Structure 1
Amino acid sequence: MDVETLRERASDLPREPGVYQFRNGEATLYVGKAVDLRSRVRSYADPRSARIRRMVDRVDDLEIAVTDTETQALLLEANLIKRHQPRYNVRLKDDKSYPMVQLTAHEAPRIEITRDPAEAATVFGPFTNKGRLETVVKALRETYGLRGCSDNKYAGRDRPCLDYEMGLCSAPCTREIGLESYREDVQSAVRFFEGETGVLTDPLRRGMETAAESQQFERAAHLRDRLETVEAFHGDADDAVQSMGESQEHLVDVVGVAIRGEDATVARLRSDRGKLVDRDRHTLEAPATDDEAESAVPAVLAAFLVQYYAERQLPDALLLPERHGDPEVAAWLEAEGVAVRVPGAGREAKLVELALKNARQNVGRRDECGMLADALGLERARRLEGFDVSHAQGSSAVGSNVAFDDGSADKSGYRRKKLTDENDDYANMRRLVTWRAERALDGRDDRPDPDLLVIDGGRGQLEAALEALDEVGWDVPAIGLAKAEERVVTPDREYDWPRDAPHLHLLQRVRDEAHRFAVQYHQTLRDEVSTVLDDVPGIGPETRKRLLGRFGSVENVRAASLEDLQSVPGVGERTAQTVKERL
């Protein structure tokens, strides 16, 4: 885009806060935030560096989104960067997006919290406090009966679901409420998010007073707490970002940055009341600048602070190696009550130096997730989920579902499930993946969708998983990894990668962790059903484990012959006879 065209486009923009996107065809080149969209975009007509000039030359389109506040612009920029991965932005790899609320474009709109809103939906946000947002959405549903079910569940119903009985939905699916009346209730929710707080606070306050008059004090207290949350939702900033108020700086985060080429690492240390309690490292893509010394580290810091602290507890203070130089980020942190310092000496300076050392150890490390995505032809492979099943000759069958983020285990994302007792690994894998897929599509799983499913097993287990995905309609790629030859099995082919390939090691870690988690759960269930053996004289804990390990279940122990029982170490003729008599 030439300079004159850019100036003309900028002159038509509003002088309001918002986000702008420079695009080239379908690709987003750069996402930026602005307090004044017209002024900020116009500044690109006089590029500050050769790098910015090269980017502007490639631009053929400009998109903007106006926001109510500067903080909303800040958070929306972070979401768009994570979604589009623009070439000219500093990008934190595989991190969370900020939650938004969408009302879907449907005859009976659905209200839901999402990180990836549909293009045709009515969207509000983004917001930083998901807990507060969930309280508000639930209050809106209870007050106005807005549906939260998927379109699949909505279609073809002949009677209302449990949400109707619980007072969470007015059941437009079966016309318990007319569509016109339902859409009026939807508009009440729209008015609330647009700032008309009384739409929700007034009915909550009336309900609280009625409960108190009826001496339903527990319900009155519950409604009072909900009312306080709703009243704080818009707050002074009008975007659900509330000040933390006075702080004694119990929690302090220390940040260090190291950059090598286009790879950057940010190391974060957390101090709680003076003690180091946590440390982690994060990889960012940092496009090369024309003046590395002057602008690279501040740009990485500014991008990291906004993109990282989505849904995370902000500390009372941040210690940085240098100023980030972003006025919008500074205003946001100040509104949140976070003190920001660049220490020059003393204990705080030593902590910053320790964070810098941690960052330097990691910078330039091979990107296993990126290599895996490239090897499999995927857009990304940052979030992986592993699946395995475990049973003993068909009994105590269980399934495991583990999660990995950016190469590290995310134990908050681990799930496990009891399965039908059947000596069929393929059938059990199909049930396990069906369970995960249905929960994802119905909105009953609060985890983000993975980039790739890793199935413990070969072609047979993978095909069972693919059948489940196809039947449910969950569009997520899947591969299998068997232990025997460590060959990666995909729907179309098999890969025999070198044994030292980092991306193979990543898959092995996911597969092995899924296996460990499944076996652990299976053993727990097996031990639970084995208590009948505890009452058999001569059978101690170790002998019981050997019996169950040999025969798989109490039923199989009961059916075993005396000769088979005596083949187990620690079980003699007398003990075997006692087992047969007691069982």
Structure 2
Amino acid sequence: MDTEAVRARANDLPTKPGVYQFERGDAVLYVGKAVDLRDRVRSYADPRGERIRRMVARAERIDFSVTETETQALLLEANLVKRFQPKYNVRLKDDKSYPLVQLTDHEFPRIEITRDPDDAATVFGPYTNKGRVETAVKALRETFGVRGCSDYKFAGRDRPCLDYEVGLCTAPCVGEIDAESYLGDVDSVRRFLDGETGVLADPMRAAMEAAAGEQEFERAANLRDRLAAVESFHEGGAAAVQGEAREARVEVLGVAVEGADATVARLVSEDGKLVDRERHRVTAPEASEVSRLLSAFLPQFYAERDLPDAVLLQERPSDPDVLDWLEREGTAVRVPGAGREATLVDLALKNARRQTGRRDECAALAAELGIDAADRIEGFDVSHAQGKAVVGSDVCFVDGDESKADYRRKKLADENDDYANMRRLVRWRAERAVAGRDDRPDPDLLLIDGGEGQLNAALEALEETGWDVPAVGLAKAEERVVAPDRAYDWPSDADHLRLLQRVRDEAHRFAVAYHQQVRDAVSTTLDDLPGVGPELRRRLLRRFGSVEGVRNASEAELADVEGVGPATAATIAARL
């Protein structure tokens, strides 16, 4: 776009808060927020900096969305950056986003909390506190009976569902309420979401007072707590943390910039004790200042995460809107110069700088395999005892480190067939991904614990479901990486091989641990034996693998297990 095209488009925009997008074809090049959309977009007619100049020149059009407040503009910008990953924005490699509330464009609209709203829906938000949103939406449904069910559940019913029975819906699906009355209730919901808090708060307060008058004190207290959440729904977040200990939770962020990439290390301190640490990758369009990276990172990262009481940083964010938002949410921002807090910031910086080597091994692995990236790897393994208590593991590594929050596990049908079990496990993951039912982003690479047979089983599952993700296998015996079209013999000390080995070993550990948990939880004939309690039963099953293994063991072998004396060994042998 040239200067005149930008000015002409700016003149068409409102003078309200909102978000604007520079677009080319189907791609979003840049997302920005504005207090005044018209004034902010007009400034791009004379862009400052070569990077912005290139972006404007490449753009073909400018789209926009109006928001009610500047805070909503800040949060919507974070959501859209997460969704579109624009080339010219600072981007956190994370799939979290702030919740929205939508009223769908149906004959009988439904209300739901979503991150990906329908194009034709009326959308409200985004909001910073998902718990408060869930409380408000439930209260709206209890008060006005607006449905929350899927189209599939709504269609073709001949009697009301459980939501009607518990007072969450007025059952328009079977004509328990006429269309005009239902749409009137929907309008009340819309008025509340537009900011008219009394539409919902007034009937809730009346119900609370009635419950107290009838001495239903537990119900009155519950309504009081929900009313507080409803009344703070359109406010900042400070009301939600009243009564909590001052700065019980402090989070520390350290940023290390490496060219167009950066790593943000996060330390979590609760009541003065360091309880967690993790690292996150941030991609910037070019080398960026720490203050600018923090301005982008903070709203993107705390999407659907609880804000702490305080955040300690090495520099203050450059965007004053971010600082204003944190202040409204009740989060203090400090740049400590000395003392324990400064030591924590230094520790976070050291953690951030440690990531460089791990990033290199991910890049080397991607280059060796000929794939776009290997920053996010999921590893799969199956564990069972002769086809019994079959389970599968799905572990995740991000930038070479375990991401345990993204670990998953799955019970599988009992079958003594490693290939069929692996096919079933990968198909389960793939179907969830394709249907959008898995809340994790798609990985760059799947690693299968096993050789060609297990890999082929996994590839069949991928082909059947249409999930397009690269996959390789790694068998423990030969430590050879098997791809669909070839095998790789890498040096045993190659960093990228060691990365895959870490993923494979962790998948194996996680699967075995879950298998033992499932197996030990199953009631067996050992439960009925005198002298055999839960702990001894677990020892026997770990030693011999199954009840059949215990049955086949000699008395001497049984007596060799800790806690089994000669008399108990004789009893077990005789009974089994």
Give the TM-score of the pair, scaled to structure 2: 0.82
Indicate the residue corresponding to 2:296 in structure 1. 303
Query: Which string of whole-angstrom CA distances, capped at 9 and with x for unpartnered residues, describes residues 217-268 of structure 1?
Result: 2222212211111111012x5xx67586798444443333322211122233
User: Equivalent residue for 1:481?
Assistant: 473
| C-alpha contact 1:258 1:363 (8 A) present in aligned 2 | no
**Aligned residues: percent identity?**
66
Give the match for residue 124 of structure 1: 124
Match of residue 286, structure 2, among 288, 299, 314: 288
Q: Distance in 1 between matches of 2:434 and 2:152?
A: 9
Superposed counterparts of 1:503-542, under 5 Å: 508-529=501-522, 533=526
Moved more, 419-428 or 214-223: 419-428
Structure 1 residues 360 and 576: CA distance shift in structure 2, 3 A: closer
The residue identity in structure 1 corresponding to 2:352 is: A
Structure 1 segment 30-429 matched on structure 2, within 5 A = 30-157=30-157, 159-177=159-177, 181-235=181-235, 248-288=246-286, 296-345=289-338, 347-363=340-356, 365-366=358-359, 386-405=379-398, 407-425=400-418, 428=421
Q: CA deviation at 1:64?
A: 0.8
Deviation at 1:388, TM superposition (A): 3.8
* d(CA) in 2 for partners of 1:423, 1:165: 45
Aligned equivalents of 1:314 and 1:256: distance in 2?
17
CA contact (8 A) 1:75 1:98 kept: yes
Note if contact 1:487-1:495 (Cα within 8 Å) is conserved in structure 2.
Answer: yes
When residues 273 and 545 of structure 1 are mapped into structure 2, their CA distance, relative to the original with a 3 A threshold, is closer
Unaligned runs of 5+ in 1: none
What is the number of residues matched between the two proteins?
569
- Look up the SS of the partner of 1:282 in the other structure: strand
In structure 2, the partner of 1:7 is 7
- Aligned in 2, Cα 1:574/1:16: closer, same or farther, shift over 3 Å? closer
Distance 1:303 1:554, change over 3 A: same
Change (3 A) 1:375 1:76: farther
- Measure how far apart 1:99 and its partner are: 1.6
Question: CA 1:525–1:260 in structure 2 vs 1: closer, same or farther (change >3 Å)?
Answer: closer
2:575 counterpart of 1:582: yes
- TM superposition shift of 1:63: 0.8
| Matched residue, 2:547 | 554
Partners of 1:85 and 1:171 in 2: CA distance:
41
SS across alignment from 1:366: helix
Q: CA deviation at 1:30?
A: 1.2
Task: Assess, with a 3 A threshold, how the Cα gap between structure 1 residues 510 and 107 changes in structure 2: closer, same or farther.
Answer: farther
| Greater mean deviation of Cα atoms: 199-208 or 189-198 | 199-208
Distance 1:112 1:43, change over 3 A: same
1:435 Cα deviation from its structure 2 partner: 6.4
- The CA deviation string for residues 20-65 of structure 1, in whole angstroms up to 9 with x for no partner, is 1111222211111111111111111122222222222112110111
Question: Secondary structure of 1:233's match?
Answer: coil
> Which has the higher mean CA deviation after the structures are superposed, 80-89 or 419-428?
419-428
Q: Quick one: which amino acid aligns to residue 334 of structure 2?
A: R
Q: Which amino acid aligns with 2:279?
A: R
Does the CA-based 8 Å contact 1:487-1:494 persist in structure 2?
no
Amino acid at match of 1:267: A
Task: Report if aligned partners of 1:372, 1:381 keep a CA contact under 8 Å in 2.
Answer: yes
Structure 1 residues 272, 123: CA separation in 2 closer, same or farther (over 3 Å shift)? same
* Contact 1:143–1:200 (8 Å) recurs in 2: yes
Distance, in Å, in 1 between the alignment partners of 2:157 and 2:459 is 28
How far apart are residue 519 of structure 1 and its match? 1.7
- Comparing 419-428 with 65-74, which one deviates more in the overlay? 419-428
Against the structure 1 CA distance between its residues 505 and 82, is the aligned structure 2 distance closer, same or farther, given a 3 Å change threshold? farther
Consecutive unaligned residues in structure 2, runs of 5 or more: none
Cα deviations by residue, 1:502-560 (Å, 9 ceiling, x for unpaired): 666555544433332232122233334477547768989999668645764325644x4
Amino acid corresponding to residue 68 of structure 1 in structure 2:
E
Residue by residue over 1:73-128, the C-alpha shift from the partner in whole angstroms, topping out at 9 and shown as x without a partner, is: 11111111111111111112225211222333444444322222233332221111
